[in-house]
Homo-oligomer: A and B are copies of this chain.
Amino acid sequence: MPSARLAEYHGVPAAYLAKQLQALSTAGIVESVAGPRGGYRLARPATDITVLDVVLAVEGDAAAFSCTEIRRNGPGACGPSAYPKPCGIARIMWEAEAAWRASLGEYTVAELLDGALRDSPAEQLPVVATWIQEVVR
């Protein structure tokens, strides 16, 4: 499906969508197909792409919590070598991020597409079904 049609379908700016599609393409989630009927489609079966794959491709896979090692600041602090382990706050924040990622990893794009069909108003169903057919492998 051409990027411009996809942008129109979702009512988002084409430049914004192009950037996300580029990120998804770099991550191997979508691929571009050349030719008059070309555009983007999924690079692998929707059952093999988790929601986590998509989120990390678009948002980047850096941890949301970045530890600034506050323990090394202030008058009472020792040098970096005195703190071999990450601090307790960072460990807890990262564990919560792991739980967030695990939750997103439980769902696939295939399930999203099934849900989109299930939740579509009857009059929009043909449009959604055609759209899905054009973008999946």
Contacts and interface: CB of A to CB of B under 8 A. Distances in A.
Interface of A: 8-12, 51, 70, 73-78, 82-83, 85, 87-89, 92-93, 95-104, 107, 111-112, 115-116, 119, 121, 123-124, 127-128, 131
B11 A74 contact: yes
A39 to B, nearest CB: 16
6 contacts: A51-B92, A78-B121, A88-B119, A92-B103, A92-B112, A99-B102
Contact of A103 (B10, B70, B99, B111): B99
Counting every copy of the chain, the complex holds 2
A96 B97 CA distance: 9
B70 A11 contact: yes
A83 B119 contact: yes
A123 B77 CA distance: 9
A108 B61 CA distance: 28
B111 A75 contact: no
Contacts of A76: 9, 124, 127-128, 131
A70 B10 contact: yes
A76 B123 CA distance: 9
A116 B104 contact: no
A116 B76 CA distance: 13
